Chain A
Amino acid sequence: MKSAPAVVAGLVALPTAFFLAFFLVPLAVVALASLTSGEGDVTFTHYARVLFDSYHWSILGVTFRLGLYTTVICLVLGYPLAWYLVRMVEWRLWRRVCVILIILPLFTSNIVRSFGWMILLGRRGLVNSWLVDFGLVDRPVRFIGTETGILIGLVYILLPFVVLTIGNALAKIDVSYEQASADLGAGAMSTFWHVTLPLSIPGAVSGAILVFALAVSAYVTPALLSGGQVTVLPMLIFQQYSSVFDFHYGGALAITLLAFTLAMIGLASLVGRMGAR
């Protein structure tokens, strides 16, 4: 029989080599390019440009604002839906259908889902005709090319993540806590505020952080719904790599986004672990 180290080496050699070559090294190349000038000297000018220039501040501002609004709206919509699925649906088949409906968007391309909103949010789209028919607005509202349009698309794309994480957190809560609270005379509302909600907060927070990270790094949805009127950080990164070909400045933008996303993910897993305790 072969020795354990030889077996391990045989098992991990290929996966390790592949991921070093096509994952870690490419990212290192980007990091290196972001810190060097065209002549190969070490420089921080690209980062200085990203962080200290008002044009970038406005793009970062739009990106983060959209991320924040998306997260808040996802939480506000996701919590009741998760609650409904976990606590209120009694018919198993219907819950299955609902879960499929929530997961289905994750199995369709962002492009397809954003395209649906392009049809819906157009000047003569369904949303505008409803708004006019119900007398809520006099003239059709412009959605495409505005932050509102992008926001509607991002919330739609990311809502399933929140519903799934909150739903899992709610499903894990031991109902005996709530029964104890009720036995001690607390009303349904009071039990919810003092027992159930606090127990579900770690799940909600880690879901929210995940959504925020995904929202600020989303490219397809903002690109399609912005109609060229709004620019977010991922769109700027794509421009640098696909048409400007400035790998140094593009690299600094990419590393900024990457570092931010990693920090968010780290925070989410920290919160998740605190919740598991």
Chain B
Amino acid sequence: MMASWSLRILALLILSYLALPLIVIIGASLTTTSFLTFPPRGLTFDWYEVVLTNSAYLSAFATSAWLALWATVIAVLLAVPAALAIARYEFPGRAFLSSLLLSSLVLPHLVLGAALLQFGSMIGLTRNFTALLVGHVVIVTPYVLRTVLPLLSADQKTLEDASCDLGASGLATFRYVTLPQIRPGLLSGSLFAFITSFINVELSIFNTTSEINTIPVLLFTYVEYSIDPTIAAVSAATIVAAVIAVVVIDLVVGLDFFSDRGGR
């Protein structure tokens, strides 16, 4: 059928539109010229070597990685107890707690960054690692909460009760009954949290300095002034890391969400 084929071609065009900038960045990072061009002229990994000897990039990379790691760990420590309370108990303020913890998901990060800068300047918490960290914890906690919460189902509560009745302590029950149940959500939620922190610009940009900077903010400031192939090399490296992360998540939880067709 004609319509069917034109739809197929349209879909492939839109998919190429989604892939194009990523391919262009990876291609441009391999050019032998000192300016950015696509298709690349020649083929070299020199720009990656330049990146690996650039201390600004390396320290920003370390900051971003530490920040994402700490933010994720703290987010898990905040989100898992909150998820347990929300899923297992009826208490006043339960709805308030869940919207308090989830709403940073939909608020503009720029507004949150501005708010934390203003509040931080009142309490002396600006432009350092901790100032960055608290903001990142706020934006990544919802990801962990959202993936863990659905796994704390009611029938699993029965298992926990049984474990308690059989004399297991609260902690032992958590370790041997609850944790295995929420592990997939914890894993994918943590990965989402880590990545969300790692790629953030809007929130971090208020509290970064030339001494303490994250990779995306550093790229942002570089791009505003000049464009050279090292920026493409760093960007390409983050794209490759993202591909790996998406494939890992796909293998762990499965991203094939469109396959459950109703009525089959």
Chain A binder among B150-158, B181-189, B249-257: B249-257
Residue in contact with B115 in the complex, picked from A27, A102, A119, CB distance below 8 Å: A27
The complex places the Cα of A213 from the Cα of B108 at a distance, in Å, of: 9
In the complex, per-residue mask of B215-230: 1 if CB is within 8 Å of any chain A CB, else 0: 1100110011001000
Interface positions, chain B 234-264, Cβ under 8 Å from A, are 235, 238-239, 242-243, 245-247, 250, 255-264
**Known A-B contacts A14-B78, A22-B116, A126-B24; A109 and B262 likewise in contact (beta carbons under 8 Å):** no
Q: Say yes or no for A72: interface residue by CB 8 A criterion.
A: no
Residues from chain B with a CB closer than 8 A to the CB of A15 are 78-79, 81-82, 97, 101, 141
Q: Across the interface, do A175 and B201 meet the contact criterion of CB distance under 8 Å?
A: no
Q: Across the interface, do A167 and B258 meet the contact criterion of CB distance under 8 Å?
A: yes
Where chain B touches its partner, the secondary structure class is helix
Interface positions, chain A 1-27, Cβ under 8 Å from B, are 1-2, 4-5, 7-8, 10-12, 14-16, 18-20, 22-27
Q: Shortest distance in angstroms between B252's beta carbon and chain A's nearest beta carbon?
A: 13
Interface size on A, residues (CB 8 A): 94
Q: Say yes or no for B111: interface residue by CB 8 A criterion.
A: yes
Q: Say yes or no for B18: interface residue by CB 8 A criterion.
A: yes
Quick one: which of B82, B85, B116 has the most chain A CB within 10 A?
B85
Interface positions, chain A 68-99, Cβ under 8 Å from B, are 77, 80-86, 88, 92, 95-96, 98-99
The complex places the Cα of A174 from the Cα of B21 at a distance, in Å, of: 36
Q: Across the interface, do B21 and A113 meet the contact criterion of CB distance under 8 Å?
A: yes
Interface positions, chain A 137-172, Cβ under 8 Å from B, are 156, 159-160, 164, 167-168, 170-172
The complex places the Cα of A26 from the Cα of B223 at a distance, in Å, of: 30
Q: Across the interface, do B206 and A242 meet the contact criterion of CB distance under 8 Å?
A: yes
Residue in contact with B258 in the complex, picked from A16, A30, A85, A265, CB distance below 8 Å: A85
The complex places the Cα of A125 from the Cα of B7 at a distance, in Å, of: 28
Q: Say yes or no for B14: interface residue by CB 8 A criterion.
A: yes
The complex places the Cα of A99 from the Cα of B256 at a distance, in Å, of: 7
Q: Say yes or no for A254: interface residue by CB 8 A criterion.
A: yes
The complex places the Cα of A237 from the Cα of B260 at a distance, in Å, of: 43
Q: Across the interface, do B118 and A19 meet the contact criterion of CB distance under 8 Å?
A: no
Q: Across the interface, do A11 and B81 meet the contact criterion of CB distance under 8 Å?
A: yes
Interface size class of B (residues with CB under 8 A): 35 or more
The complex places the Cα of A5 from the Cα of B201 at a distance, in Å, of: 40
Q: Across the interface, do A217 and B112 meet the contact criterion of CB distance under 8 Å?
A: no
Interface positions, chain B 2-39, Cβ under 8 Å from A, are 4, 7-8, 10-11, 14-15, 17-22, 24-25, 28, 36-38
Q: Shortest distance in angstroms between B240's beta carbon and chain A's nearest beta carbon?
A: 10
Q: Across the interface, do A14 and B81 meet the contact criterion of CB distance under 8 Å?
A: yes
**Known A-B contacts A14-B78, A100-B247; A119 and B38 likewise in contact (beta carbons under 8 Å):** yes
Residues from chain A with a CB closer than 8 A to the CB of B177 are none
In the complex, per-residue mask of A18-52: 1 if CB is within 8 Å of any chain B CB, else 0: 11101111110110010000000000000000000
Interface positions, chain A 214-256, Cβ under 8 Å from B, are 217, 219-220, 223-224, 234, 237-238, 241-242, 247, 250-251, 254
The residue in chain B whose Cβ has the minimal distance to the Cβ of A30 is: B115
Where chain A touches its partner, the secondary structure class is helix
Q: Can you add 16 more A-B contacts, CB < 8 Å, to A11-B85, A116-B22, A223-B224?
A: A12-B85, A15-B79, A30-B119, A81-B15, A92-B259, A100-B243, A108-B239, A110-B201, A110-B202, A111-B201, A111-B220, A113-B22, A168-B257, A172-B262, A234-B108, A238-B205
Chain B residues near A (Cβ < 8 Å): 4, 7-8, 10-11, 14-15, 17-22, 24-25, 28, 36-38, 77-79, 81-82, 84-85, 89, 91, 97, 100-101, 104, 106-108, 110-112, 114-120, 122, 134-135, 137-138, 141, 164, 170, 195, 198-202, 205-206, 215-216, 219-220, 223-224, 227, 231-232, 235, 238-239, 242-243, 245-247, 250, 255-264
CB-defined A-B contacts under 8 Å, sample of 22: A8-B91, A19-B141, A23-B104, A85-B11, A95-B259, A99-B255, A107-B199, A108-B22, A108-B242, A109-B216, A112-B25, A118-B227, A160-B18, A167-B258, A174-B263, A217-B108, A217-B111, A223-B220, A242-B206, A254-B115, A261-B108, A262-B106
Q: Give 7 nearest A-B pairs by CB, closest first.
A: A116-B21, A84-B11, A217-B108, A26-B119, A109-B199, A26-B115, A107-B242
Chain A residues near B (Cβ < 8 Å): 1-2, 4-5, 7-8, 10-12, 14-16, 18-20, 22-27, 29-30, 33, 77, 80-86, 88, 92, 95-96, 98-105, 107-113, 115-120, 124-126, 156, 159-160, 164, 167-168, 170-176, 179, 213, 217, 219-220, 223-224, 234, 237-238, 241-242, 247, 250-251, 254, 257-258, 261-262, 265
